[in-house]
Amino acid sequence: MTAKRTRGNGEGSIFPYRNGFAAYVWVTKPDGKRQRKYVYGKTRDEVHDKWIKLHQQARQGPVATRIPTLGDYLTYWLSEVVKPNLAPLTAATYETLVRLYIVPELGAKRLDRLDLRSVQTWINKVGRTCQCCAQGKDARRRSDTRRCCAIGKCCNSTPSPRTVKDLRTVLRSALSQAKTEELISRNVAALVKLPASRRRKGKAWTSEEARCFLESARSDRDPLYAAYVLPKGRGAWAGMGRGGPGRGGADGRLAVAASRSAAAAPRDEDREFRCHASASGHLRHVAASAPSRGG
Ligand SMILES: [Zn+2]
Ligand SMILES: [Zn+2]
């Protein structure tokens, strides 16, 4: 051993800093890169103790030199924890959920400053945000094929309750790893409550669209025609048959809500059978010869 070596790796690097001392240890970061990590203290002894601890920590595994943002941490987590351990399809799903939903809203937050309230607010908001709007899906279409959110007719594509649940699962799993790595002390995603799943809102019809639908229903002699036109208060429309419950808005627009929970209620897809949008953009009633409804 040389004289220099007996001093111990790095011990010689304790140096006066501001009103005290500082020292550093070369550590391997979670992303695999090597970097100096500094410790500080009032006295040389204090810094020496911290330096010994850090040195031991560095020998045991990766050390974070500073607390990363959630976005940076998720990048590391996907490539070093998820991909090597999970099925490719699962890893791809996690990557998509992280990129489209988590990073845009929470990615810039420092991992240890991610609080329960921000995560709860985020997950509530995700559940009611049109993802066509948020992700610019319609805006990416060729200008002559844009058909909803980019031309002021929001298609209201909110994520399914299942997706919202998956989002919490992914975040909880990533934060659990961060906790194991001692970057955070508690997993806020595990404490988050999922928003109660509500019925999906259908798209609102203009009164012109509703008129087309009713005329079409009448000419097709739909047995539920009477139910469609049953008046229910001023400007309201109660189409309570299998055509789905209708609600009249104050602005004269009609909303046909399609329930996904009630077994007997039609789904959005069913409405397609009844109200077929023709090439000209007009709604046409399609006689109730819809294919069998699963269940
Ligand atoms: Zn849209
Ligand atoms: Zn939209």
Taking a 5 Å cut-off on Cβ, the residues next to ion ligand 2 are 130, 132-133, 149, 154
Q: Is the pLDDT of residue 213 over 70?
A: no
CA of 138 to the centre of ligand 2 (A): 8
- Burial of residue 193 (number of CB atoms within 10 Å: 0-12, 13-18, 19+): exposed
Q: Residue 97 — very low, low, confident or very high, per pLDDT cuts 50/70/90? A: very high
The dihedral region occupied by 271, where left means phi > 0, alpha psi between -120 and 50, and beta the remainder, is alpha
CA of 91 to the centre of ligand 2 (A): 28
CA of 291 to the centre of ligand 1 (A): 27
The closest alpha carbon to 96, from 82, 114, 110, belongs to 82
- Burial of residue 13 (number of CB atoms within 10 Å: 0-12, 13-18, 19+): middle
Q: Dump strand ranges (E) for the chain.
A: 15-17, 20-28, 34-41, 204-205, 246-248, 254-256, 275-277, 283-285
Q: What is the pLDDT averaged over residues 269-278?
A: 37
CA of 14 to the centre of ligand 2 (A): 58
Which strands sit side by side in the sheet containing 20-28, from one edge to the other? 15-17, 20-28, 34-41
Q: Is the pLDDT of residue 184 over 90?
A: no
Residues 134-183 pLDDT 10s: 999 999 999 999 999 999 999 999 999 999 999 999 999 999 999 998 88
- C-alpha separations of 123 from 71, 185, 194, 206 in Å: 16, 21, 7, 31
Facing residues of 25 across strands? Answer: 37
Angle between helices 161-180 and 70-77 (to 10 degrees): 90
For the chain, the structural domain boundaries read 13-60, 70-191, 205-287
Q: How far is CA 49 from the centre of its chain?
A: 43
pTM confidence score: 0.51
Task: Residue 20: count other Cβ atoms within 10 Å of its Cβ.
Answer: 13
Q: What is the pLDDT averaged over residues 72-76?
A: 94
CA of 141 to the centre of ligand 2 (A): 13
CA of 136 to the centre of ligand 2 (A): 8
pLDDT for 38 = 82
Q: Which residue has the tokens 């997993």?
A: 187
CA of 200 to the centre of ligand 2 (A): 14
Sequence-ordered list of residues with C-beta below 8 angstroms from that of 108, at least 6 positions apart, any chain: 69, 70, 71
Residues 101, 134: Cα–Cα separation, whole Å: 9
CA of 294 to the centre of ligand 2 (A): 29
What type of residue is 59? R
Residues 241, 225: Cα–Cα separation, whole Å: 9
Q: Is the pLDDT of residue 63 over 50?
A: yes
Fold of 70-191: DNA polymerase; domain 1 (1.10.150)
Tokens of 194: 């999922």
CA of 9 to the centre of ligand 1 (A): 60
CA of 97 to the centre of ligand 1 (A): 19
Q: Is the pLDDT of residue 7 over 70?
A: no
